[in-house]
Chains A and B, each alone.
Chain A
Amino acid sequence: MQDLSQLGTGQQAIISAIEAEESLFHRLSALGFRVGKPLSIMRRANFNGPLHVRLGTTDVILRANEASYIRIQPV
């Protein structure tokens, strides 16, 4: 099983687990990161910058560190 930070640009995946502490979990969940939801990586910023992730109709940017708490199943 992979985490979101390892997913390649342009690839799609399904969220299989979120292993974040409570406050991060709440924020992720309010922005639409929930188990079973599909997502895709739109792009990454240079120099190991944030990831641009699309979840349904929402676009979110987050750092690789935060993304590493999200387990995914590539499709």
Chain B
Amino acid sequence: MKRIALLGMPNTGKSTLFNRISGASARVGNWPGITVDLMSAKILLGGHIAELIDLPGIYDLHGFSEDEQVVRHFLTHNAVDLLIVLLNSTQIERQLSLLLQIKRLGFPVVLALNMTDEAKRAGITIDTASLSEALKLPVIAISAKYGDGLPKALEAATEIIREQKTTSKPESINQLLQEDNLIEREMEDLIQKHVQIPATLTDDTTDKIDKILLHKWLGLPLFFAAMFLLFQFIFTVGAPLQDGLGWLLDTLRSSLLDALFANTPIWFQGLMLDGIYSGIATVAAFVPIIILFFLVMSVVEDSGYLSRAAFLMDAIMAKMGLDGRSFVMMLMGFGCNVPAIMGTRIMRSRAMRLLTMLVIPLSLCSARLQVFIFIIAALFSPKHAPLVLFALYVMSFLVMFLTAVLFQNQYKNTEPFILELPPYRFPTPRQIILRGWQEVKHFLNRASKFIILGVVMVWLLTHFPTNVAPASIDTYAGQIGILFSPLLDPIGINHELAIALIFGFVAKEIVVGALAVIYGMQGDALMAQMATQIDWVQAMSFMLFTLIYTPCLSTIATIKNESKSTGFMWLSIIWSLGLAWVVSFMFYQGAKALGY
């Protein structure tokens, strides 16, 4: 099978191109000696099946970042038949250096010039025909976003693959990598002859927007307002969808499933309906919010606003030993900790990466949000509900900052802060939906395993041994609650909540499902039941603990993978558990002392 690798600088639309060529068939592949995940897809090229690999975006083959090392390792250990090098046309004057480095190594190359529409608007003209002649390789103008020029690029790729008998020789590439320095002059020469760049860019839309969004005094308030509006939007649109789905699942049970399992043994009926179904149904009702969240997030991410957020926040972040990029990843963490921790890869300093990884799991992720929305709805009046949720967000930021400040000397940062500000772009609906779909698919894949397993385990623990009342103190679950009660009583967490917390360790998505099983009811009935059993101080203490303590197993696995340190993983677990207990203790005892 032929092997094609896709290479380019960050922000050139590489992933967009990869998604466009591969459709939704991309998979995460394993490569010897490479610890990061590389996406790959099987594609059909002129009758051949070829494997297309999406290499990480890099600035320079000689760079020192993890991604740059990954690309070097890949190219010096794997033979490839073709490299598709993707450059941003509007920045060809500097990006061409990457192509020249690649070309010098003797790879068969197709050069794809992306963002031709933007370049055209900026008044940049590239003579692709003469550039192709000078470089002695196919040069094709494309738009990864809209698909223009793509058939031509693939045709050129097919031709090279069909003609050529040999593949790259990883060993000799390793040697060639040691030597090259003449690239700069060659690049300037090529640009002068084949590219016309106006002295100043004619498209000043981005400048106009930046004047407002990066304004000295308006910038930060606008940033926080934008974040607030996005969250508002997600929940205003999400709530009715959530209700609708909940109704649908209830109806399905009462009109179909109850009858279906009516003749099965009682324990089996309980396992299927009260265990698996009610757990899944309770959690599934929150899926619309997650979908909305990632749809919105993908727009924000692709628009280029996240780098602006980094610019606005950097002065504050630097005081905590972090930088604007950490802040962006912390924000991503409010969607889901896992991709945010993976995203810290853009940082070159290991120290700052670790510090950011320690902080991210404290962000109020969408899974925790499910738990909070549920409990707030059960125990607080509609008037107080937004306030409580807001307080939890503030608390989340506070513990993040506290952690960063406390550990910043442990993980001292020496990394330079230099980031590109891409022009504002609006992603196409296709991009938004594809991205949203991928995230949701990923979330459901990850969540469903944990949820089904976790909820069934909770049901078993709360219904066995069979000779006692379900979910009572005498069940296995109750015993676990009693075992931990010396620790949990001082923070107002009763045995039922304790069991939910134990299962929240597997995934926060489980917590509400677990409560449904523990109390043997769901939806409004569950809310009413909980309101009679715990007061608001206990509920708040429970939410604070849930907010801060160990995130899901997926996050832990990601931390271990990315930090490549079991010790660091344990530090993260123990720190968050300890901090959660201390905060809940202070809140609960404080509120009690004040007479609540």
Contact = CB atoms under 8 A, between A and B. Distances in A.
Given A26-B63, A57-B124, 17 more contacts: A26-B59, A26-B64, A27-B60, A27-B63, A32-B94, A43-B210, A45-B315, A49-B311, A49-B315, A50-B315, A56-B94, A57-B197, A58-B94, A58-B420, A59-B421, A61-B307, A61-B324
Contacts of B220: 46
B134 interface: no
B143 interface: no
Nearest to B216: A46
Query: Chain B CB within 10 Å — which of A45, A57, A65 has the most?
Result: A57
A27 B217 contact: no
Main secondary structure of the interface of A (DSSP, over half): mixed
Contacts of B311: 45, 49-50, 52, 61
11 contacts: A27-B63, A27-B416, A30-B9, A43-B216, A46-B217, A50-B315, A56-B93, A60-B418, A61-B418, A62-B416, A62-B418
A1 B588 CA distance: 61
Interface in B415-446: 416-423
A57 B119 CA distance: 10
Interface in A38-75: 42-43, 45-50, 52, 56-63, 65-66
Interface residues of B, number: 41
A48 B417 CA distance: 14
Interface in B287-346: 307, 310-312, 314-316, 318, 324
A50 B310 CA distance: 9
Contacts of B216: 43, 46
A34 B219 CA distance: 30
Contacts of B98: 30
B72 interface: no
Interface of B: 9, 59-60, 62-64, 90-91, 93-94, 97-98, 122, 124, 184, 197, 201, 210, 214, 216-217, 219-220, 307, 310-312, 314-316, 318, 324, 348, 416-423
Instruction: State which size class the interface on A falls in.
Output: 20 to 34
Give 3 nearest A-B pairs by CB, closest first.
Answer: A49-B315, A30-B59, A47-B315
Given A45-B315, A49-B314, A61 B421 contact: yes
B214 A26 contact: no
B315 A28 contact: no
Contacts of B324: 50, 61
A30 B314 contact: no
Nearest to B58: A30
Contacts of A52: 210, 214, 311, 421
Contact of B417 (A30, A31, A46, A50): A50
B418 A31 contact: yes
A66 B91 contact: no
A40 B59 CA distance: 22
Most chain-A CB neighbours within 10 Å: which of B90, B93, B122?
A: B93
Nearest to B312: A45
B60 A26 contact: yes
A61 B419 contact: yes
Nearest to A62: B418
Contacts of B318: 63
Contacts of A42: 210
B214 A43 contact: yes
For B124, B324, B416, which residue has the most chain A Cβ atoms within 10 angstroms?
Answer: B416
Contacts of A49: 311-312, 314-315
Contacts of B314: 45, 49-50, 61, 63
B124 to A, nearest CB: 7
Contact of B420 (A29, A59, A63, A66): A59
B185 to A, nearest CB: 11
Nearest to A50: B314
Contacts of B422: 59
B422 to A, nearest CB: 8
B522 to A, nearest CB: 49
Contact of A48 (B60, B315, B419): B315
Contacts of B217: 46
Contacts of A50: 311, 314-315, 324, 417
Contacts of B201: 57
A65 to B, nearest CB: 8
A66 B307 CA distance: 17
A14 B214 CA distance: 25
B184 A34 contact: yes
A66 B97 contact: no
Contact of B91 (A57, A62, A65): A57
A31 B197 contact: no
B482 to A, nearest CB: 52
